[in-house]
Copies of this chain bind each other. A is one copy, B any other.
Amino acid sequence: MSRAFGVRLGEALAERRHLCAGIDPHAALLADWGLDDDAAGAERMGREVVAASAGVAACVKPQVAFFERFGSAGIAALERVLADARAAGLLVIADVKRGDIGTSFAAYADAWLTPGSPLEADAMTVAAYQGFGSLAGGFRHVREHGKGLFVLAATSNPEAREVQTAVRADGRTIARSIVDDALAFESPLDAHVKSIGVVLGATLDLADFGIDVSLPPASPALPVLAPGFGHQGARIEDARAIFGGLGWALLANESRGILSGGADGLADRIRARSEALADALAVA
C-alpha cells in the first residue's frame, strides 16, 4: 500500500520543514543566473534548486509553464528535474494548474500522478472552473497511489477576486466551496494531514472570500499551499492570524525570493528562509 501524500507531508511539517521552494526558470531569472534561456538552462536551474533544497525544504514546486514553453525539450528537461527531486527525498508539487473534465482530466492526472510516469510528481496543482467534481479523475491516484492535489481556492492576483468571490446558488462563495469540498474529501490512506489541499494567497483577507479562519482546525488537517510570503509582502510571523484554523498544515511557497541572486548563495537563501519559517511558525 502506498503511503499517503498527506502522511509524507505531515512528516516534513513535523520536522519543521514548511518551505516549498519554487522552480521558476523564466527568462529574467535564467539571465540572472547566467544561464541560457532554453531547456538546458531551465534544467540546470531546477537541479540546482533540488540540490539546495534536499533535507531543508519540504518540497519543490516547478512552475511547468516555464518548461512547457520549450516544447518537448522543455518537458524532457522537467522529467529529469522531477526524477532528481524525488530521488533526493523531496516532495514534488507539479505546478500545472490543469483542469478539464472526465477522461481528459483523468489523462492529466495520469500524466502527473501515475507511479512510473515520466512526469511523476507527488502532487499537482489543479483548477476547478468546471467544478470540483470535474477533478474526479485525480481522486483515484490520491486514494490508491498516495498522491496529492492542491486545488486553487483564493488567489492573490487582483483580477481573481471577481470570480472567486462569486456566490453560488447555495449561498457560498466559489472559494469557500472549494475549501469545503477539499475538507470533505476522504481517503483511506490519510491520517493527520489530508492528501487534498488548497491554494490560498497569504496576502489576502480570506474573510473577503467568504472563508472563515476562526473555525477550529480540521482533522485531518487541510494542507494549504500559500504563495505570498516574503517577496510579495506577507509576513510569516502573521501566518496564524492570516490562516487561523486553516494554517495547521501550511506550506509557504517562495520562488523569486530564493531564486533571485543566482546559483551562488542559493543554498544559504533556502536554508535561511526555511529556518525563518520554522521559527516563526513555532512561536506564532
Identify which of A75, A117, A130, A134 gathers the most chain B CB atoms within 10 Å of its CB: A130
Interface contact A128-B131, CB-CB below 8 Å: no
* Minimum distance in angstroms from A84 CB to a CB of chain B: 15
Identify which of A72, A97, A157 gathers the most chain B CB atoms within 10 Å of its CB: A72
- Given the interface contacts A66-B104, A101-B155, does A71 sit within 8 Å of B160 by beta carbon? no
Q: How many residues of A contact B (CB 8 A)?
A: 60
> Which of A169-209 touch B at CB < 8 Å?
169-170, 173-174, 177
Residues on B with C-beta less than 8 A from A79 are: 71-72
Residues on B with C-beta less than 8 A from A173 are: 166
Interface contact B169-A165, CB-CB below 8 Å: yes
Residues on B with C-beta less than 8 A from A105 are: 65
- Given the interface contacts A103-B26, A134-B157, A160-B131, does A111 sit within 8 Å of B68 by beta carbon? yes
| Cα distance, A153 to B257, chains bound together (Å) | 35
| Cα distance, A127 to B70, chains bound together (Å) | 21
Cβ-closest 4 pairs across A and B: A71-B118, A131-B159, A133-B159, A65-B107
From B108, B117, B152, contact of A130 by CB (8 A) = B152
Residues on B with C-beta less than 8 A from A24 are: 104
Q: Assembly of this chain: how many copies?
A: 2
Residues on B with C-beta less than 8 A from A128 are: 129, 163
Interface contact A129-B99, CB-CB below 8 Å: yes
**Could you jot down 11 A-B contacts, CB within 8 Å?**
A65-B105, A69-B117, A70-B111, A72-B78, A72-B118, A73-B118, A97-B99, A97-B100, A101-B157, A129-B152, A130-B164
> Which of A120-169 touch B at CB < 8 Å?
127-134, 152, 155, 157-169
Residues on B with C-beta less than 8 A from A213 are: none
- Given the interface contacts A71-B75, A72-B118, does A65 sit within 8 Å of B100 by beta carbon? yes
Q: Does A102 contact B (CB under 8 A)?
A: yes
| Cα distance, A119 to B157, chains bound together (Å) | 27
* Minimum distance in angstroms from A218 CB to a CB of chain B: 22
> Which of A60-100 touch B at CB < 8 Å?
63, 65-66, 68-73, 75-76, 78-79, 95, 97-100
Q: Does A237 contact B (CB under 8 A)?
A: no
Q: Does A110 contact B (CB under 8 A)?
A: yes
6 further A-B pairs in the complex, CB-CB below 8 A; given A130-B155, A130-B160, A134-B157: A97-B99, A132-B159, A162-B168, A162-B177, A165-B168, A166-B174
